[in-house]
Copies of this chain bind each other. A is one copy, B any other.
C-alpha cells in the first residue's frame, strides 16, 4: 500500500472484511482490558467491573493513558478548564475536527463498557487510520468528557454541559463531591493535573460534528438480535417527587372505613402510572419510595415516591404527567379510577397528594446528516443484512451527545449489551459487538468527512 491514501482508495468495507476485522476486535477489547486491569484490583464478584470515579487517582491513570496514546498516534492534545481532553489528528485541510468521543469515568461499581467503549473505539479509529495511511479531508478528533456519570460530582454530563454553554463554569467548578468530602471539581482537576488553560467552550474548541459509540444500556438490540442502534435522538424525561399524606393509625384498631392509608393510595398511583404510560408508548417508573412512621402495625400517614416519566416526544411526557396528576388526585380522594378501588373498602378519610418537579429534560433530535452517516456506515458493513441488523432508536438515557447536539451536528451508535445490564460490574458486550460498533463509528466519521469534502466546508 502507498503512503497517504485517501478514503476513496481504501474503502471502509475492505478494512473490516480483511484481517483487520480481527485486528480491530482484538485491539478494541484489548484496550479495554488494558484500561480495566490497570485500574481495577481483583475483588470477587466485581472483578470484571470498573470503579473509576471522575478525577480520582484511577481516572488520572486512564487520562494519562489517553493523552499518551493519542500523542503517540500523532495527535495534538488540548485540555480545557473542565479537564475535557481533545485529541486531534490533522486532515488535508484545516477546519473544525469531526469528533468521536465519550467518557472514561464510571459509576462507583460500574462496568467496563459504559463510556469507555466510546473512547477506546475512537482511539482505535485513530490507530486504524494511521495503520492504513488514511488521510481525511478535515481533521478528526477524539474527546474524553469529564464526569459524565455525575456519580462523584452530582451533575451528569456536566463538562460537556459547560462546553455547550448550558452550565456555568463556576457551577461546575464548585460542585462538591458526594459522600461528605470537601473536594470540588476544580480542586480535584488541579490535584490530578487536568485543570487545563483552554476555556471550556464550543467557541474556543470548535467541532464540526460529534459521534458517540455507546452500549445500549437496555435489552432491545439483544432481544431483537440486532447489532447496531442508529440513535436518532434522546427521549424526553421529567422527574417528580410525589408526596401522599394520609394519617398514621394503628393497623389493628382502625377499620378500612376510617383510614387514610398513604401506602395503599401510593400503590394505586404507581399501578396507574404504569397504565398511563403503557397506553401512550411512554415509560413511568418509581425508583425511590420512603414512608413514615415505618412500623408493621402502623398504617403509614406519609409516603414520598419518585416518578420518572419518559417518552420520545415532549408532548407524550406531558400527556402522561397530566393523566397521572388528575388520577392521583382522584385516587387520594377515594374515587375509583380505572377500577383500581374496585373490591376495596370505601373510607371516610382521604389523602392529599403533592407534586414537586425535580428535573425536566426535553426530547433531543439528533442531526439528520449524522444519522445518515451512521446508516451509511452500517450499510457499508452489513450490506443486504442492514435492515435486519440495525434499528433506528431513541436513547433512553442522557449522554454527552445531548449537550454537543445543542451546538453541532451529533448522533450516536448503540451496540448490544448482555441482558441490558449497565452501571454494574456484570455489564458486558462481546468483543465482536464492540468491534462492529468501532467499525461503524469510524465509518460514520469518515462518511461525515466525505460529506464535508463534498460540500466544501
Contacts and interface: CB of A to CB of B under 8 A. Distances in A.
Given A220-B255, A396-B253, A396-B254, A271 B277 contact: no
A308 B286 CA distance: 24
Nearest to A345: B278
Nearest to A297: B308
Contact of A263 (B249, B289, B338): B289
B287 A296 contact: yes
Interface stretch (A118-126, A298-306, A437-445): A298-306
Interface string A318-350: 000000000000000000001110111100100
A334 to B, nearest CB: 13
Contact of A255 (B218, B263, B268, B270): B218
B344 A253 contact: no
Interface in A251-303: 251-256, 258, 261, 263-264, 266-268, 270-271, 274-275, 277-279, 283, 285-289, 291, 294-300
Nearest to A269: B267
B270 A256 contact: no
A204 to B, nearest CB: 32
B274 A287 contact: no
A308 B296 contact: yes
B396 A278 contact: no
A252 B422 CA distance: 12
Contacts of A306: 296
A33 interface: no
A287 B308 contact: no
B421 A249 contact: yes
A274 B250 contact: no
A450 interface: no
Most buried by B among A291, A340, A420, A421: A420
B296 A358 contact: yes
Given A278-B343, A343-B279, A358-B296, A235 B249 contact: no
* Protomer copies: 2
A263 B287 contact: yes
Interface in A363-406: 395-398
A81 interface: no
Given A219-B254, A266-B267, 19 more contacts: A218-B249, A219-B249, A220-B258, A223-B258, A251-B283, A251-B396, A256-B278, A258-B420, A263-B286, A263-B289, A264-B270, A267-B270, A271-B271, A274-B344, A287-B299, A288-B294, A288-B296, A289-B289, A296-B306
Nearest to A394: B252
Contact of A235 (B252, B294, B299): B252
A310 interface: yes
A455 to B, nearest CB: 34
A217 interface: yes
A300 to B, nearest CB: 6
A237 interface: yes
Nearest to A259: B285
Contacts of A275: 342-344
